[in-house]
Structure 1
Amino acid sequence: MPEKVLVHSRFPRTMMKRFGERFDLMDTAGRPAAEVFPTVDLATVRAMITAGGRSLGGAVMDAFPSLGAIICYGTGYDGIDLEAARARNIVVGHSPGANASSVADIAITLMLAATRRLVVADNYVRSGDWAAAKPSPMMRPQAGMRGRRVGVYGMGEIGRKIAARAASFETEVGYFSRSRHDVPYQYFGSLEALSDWCSILMIAVRAGAETHRAVNADILRRLGADGYVINIARGSVIDEAALVAALADGTIAGAGLDVYAKEPHTPDALTASPNVVLTPHIGGHTLESHTAMQDCVIANLEAFFAGKPLAYPVS
C-alpha cells in the first residue's frame, strides 16, 4: 500500500502527477490541512511536500504528531523553521542545484533585457512610435556588455552558473560570498566592496537573517547611476522600498526582478517603472528543472520511508 504524503503547499496538478504514481497524496491545495482533512487522518502523516518559501513553523508541525520528514520542492527552504524541525526530530530535504541552470538563464535574460531596455523597445515597435519616428529618450544608446563589471552576490551552484554565463559576454566578473571559492573570478571581501566595483549586481544568495535586506539603500548608491540590480534569489534580500526610491530618483539605472518581498504582489511603483523588467518567479520553471526537482523529491521520500538518510538533506 502506498505511503501517505501530505501536499502542504498549492502546486499545479501536473507537478504532482509523478508523486501520485508512487504515493498516496493528501493534497491541501494550499489550504490549512485541518480544514481539508480530519484530525485522525493528519495524525498518521509521516511526510509532507511543501514549497520551501512557504512559512512552516513549529505550530504547523505539531498538527502532525507522526511527521518525520518535510521535503521541499525546489532548492529553497527559507520558510521552514529548521530549529523547530530539529527539536521534533523531523528531517528536512530539498532539491539542491536541480534548477540552477534554468535560474542562471533567467538571470542573464533579465540582465540583457534591463540593460538593453528590451521591454521598452518592444513597446516602441508595437505602439507604432518607431514607424512614426517618434523620439523617445528611453531609446537612446545604452552601454553594451563588453567591458562591463558584473558582481555576483553568492557563489553557490546558481552563482557559479551565472558567473560563467556573464563572463561569456566579454565582461569582468567578481563575487562576494561567505567564503572564497576556487573560481576564476575576482573575490571581494564585502558586499560593499563588490558594489563599489561593479555596475551590475546579480543576487544569488539564500534567504535568511544574514541576507535579509542586505541590498539596501547604501548598496544601491554604491552601484551608481549606471548600475543595475538583478534578483533571482528571494525578494527578502533587497530592501524593496529602497529599490523603488533608487529607481525613481536615478540612484541606479534599472533592475531585473524575478522575485519580490510579498509574492505574488508587486508594488505599483515597480510595475509602473519603465526601467524595470519583471517576471513572475519563473527562474526554475522549465521542463528540465521540474523533472530534476521531482527526481530529488522522490529520492528523498523513498529514502525516508525506507528508513535511510535523505538523499538530499538540508544540512
Structure 2
Amino acid sequence: MTKPRILQIGSLTGHPPADAELAARYEVLELWKAADPQAFLREHADSIEVIATSANIGCKAEVIQALPKLRAICSWGVGYDSIDVDLAKSRGVIVSNTPDVLNDCVADLAWGLLIACARNIAWGDRFVRANHWENKVGGLTLGTRVSGKKLGVVGLGRIGEAIARRGQGFDMQVAYHNRRARPEVPYEYKDSLVDLATWSDFLVIATVGGASTRGLINESVLRALGPKGILVNIARGSVIDEPAMVQVLSEGALGGAGLDVFDKEPKVPDALKTMNNVVLMPHVASATHETRRAMTDCLLDNLSSFFANGQVMTPVE
C-alpha cells in the first residue's frame, strides 16, 4: 500500500522517536536535508498537501506560498506564533497544534522556577558544589517565602489556569490579566498589567507569543513588580522586553526572575548568567517523557484524522 506523502520541515528533536514514527506511517519529504530548499519545494509542489512541523521550527509564508495544493499544517507543540496562521487560513489550510497534553508539565516547571528563584535553590546548589559551605566561604542567602503570597498570572488560558490552581495549594491569593475577564473563574481580574504587577509578589507569564504580545511585559510592568517581586516566564521570550528586564534586574529594581524562554534563544543575555537571583532553563517546560510522548501521539492523531476525513483533532481556531 502506498503511504500518504507529507513534507516535514525539520527534525522533531524534542522527542527522538518521533521522526522514525512519522517515517513508518508516511512517505516523508525531509525539507531540512535539502541542499536547496526552494528548489526542493518547486520540485515537489504539486504533490504536497500536508506539512508536519513543530512550534520551534514553524512554517513561514514562503513555504505556504510555494505549495499550491497545501491543505493542512500539523504542528508538534502548543505555540503557533512561528506559523503564518493568517496566511494559512486565507488559503483554506487547516492548522493544528498539540494543546492540553502539556498543560501540567509546563505549569509544574513554572512552579519549579518560582520556588527555585524564591528559595535560592540554583544558588544553593552552586554553593554546595563549589565546597563553599564545607569551607565556610561566604554566608548563606535568605530567600523569600512562597506560601500565602500573591500570585499574578498573565494569560489565563489552559496553562495559566493550571498555574493558578497550584497557587491555591500554596494558600495564595490569585489574580490575573487576560484579553478579557473570565467571570467563571474564582480569581480576581486586573484590567491593567501594571496594576497586576503592583499587586503581585510573583508574576507568571503564560500568554501566547507573536506580534500581539511582543514586549507586553515592558519596563513599567517590571518596575511595578518591584525589588521584592519575582518574574517567571514559560510562555515566549518575546513577551518580555528583555533589555529592560536585564536593566531592571541589574539595578536591583526587580527581585528575581525564573526564565525558560528568551527572545533570541538559544542566545541568552550574558548579564543574566551572572545573576544569582535569576534561574535559567533551556526552553524545556514540556520536556518530560510523558508529555513528549503525548505530544507526538497528538501530532500523529491529527495527521491520521486528516488523511481519513479531511479534519484534524485539535485545530487552531
**TM-score, structure 2 length as denominator?**
0.93
Corresponding residue of 2:90: 87
**3-state DSSP of counterpart to 1:54:** coil
Cα distance change, pair 33–187 in 1 and its aligned pair in 2 (3 A): farther
Instruction: Work out whether residues 153 and 176 of structure 2, in 8 Å CA contact, stay in contact via their aligned partners in 1.
Output: yes
Q: Structure 1, residues 88-135: CA drift from partner, whole Å, max 9, x if none?
A: 221111111121111001100000111111111111111111112222
Corresponding residue of 1:50: 53
Q: Structure 1, residues 161-199: CA drift from partner, whole Å, max 9, x if none?
A: 111112212222111112222222222122121111001
Q: Which runs of 5+ in 1 are unaligned?
A: none
Distance between the aligned counterparts of 1:167 and 1:300, measured in 2? 34
Corresponding residue of 2:108: 105
How many residues are aligned here? 313
Which residue identity does 2:265 align to in structure 1? E
Q: Percent identity?
A: 35
Corresponding residue of 1:209: 211
Distance between the aligned counterparts of 1:122 and 1:63, measured in 2? 51
**3-state DSSP of counterpart to 2:47:** coil
What is the CA distance between 1:42 and its match in structure 2?
A: 4.0
Q: Structure 1, residues 242-293: CA drift from partner, whole Å, max 9, x if none?
A: 1100110001111000001011111111122221111111001112211221
Corresponding residue of 1:15: 18
Corresponding residue of 1:4: 5
Q: What is the aligned-residue RMSD (CA, Å)?
A: 1.9
Distance between the aligned counterparts of 2:17 and 2:79, measured in 1? 21
- Counting only pairs closer than 5 Å after superposition, residues 191-206 of structure 1 correspond to structure 2 as 191-206=193-208
Cα distance change, pair 209–248 in 1 and its aligned pair in 2 (3 A): same
What is the CA distance between 1:160 and its match in structure 2?
A: 0.8
Distance between the aligned counterparts of 1:141 and 1:307, measured in 2? 59
Corresponding residue of 2:160: 159
Corresponding residue of 2:126: 123
Instruction: Work out whether residues 41 and 67 of structure 2, in 8 Å CA contact, stay in contact via their aligned partners in 1.
Output: no
Distance between the aligned counterparts of 2:87 and 2:127, measured in 1? 52
Instruction: Work out whether residues 43 and 63 of structure 1, in 8 Å CA contact, stay in contact via their aligned partners in 2.
Output: no
Distance between the aligned counterparts of 1:77 and 1:223, measured in 2? 29
Instruction: Work out whether residues 114 and 276 of structure 1, in 8 Å CA contact, stay in contact via their aligned partners in 2.
Output: yes
Corresponding residue of 1:169: 170
Distance between the aligned counterparts of 1:119 and 1:38, measured in 2? 46
Corresponding residue of 1:298: 300
Distance between the aligned counterparts of 2:58 and 2:76, measured in 1? 14
Q: Which runs of 5+ in 2 are unaligned?
A: none
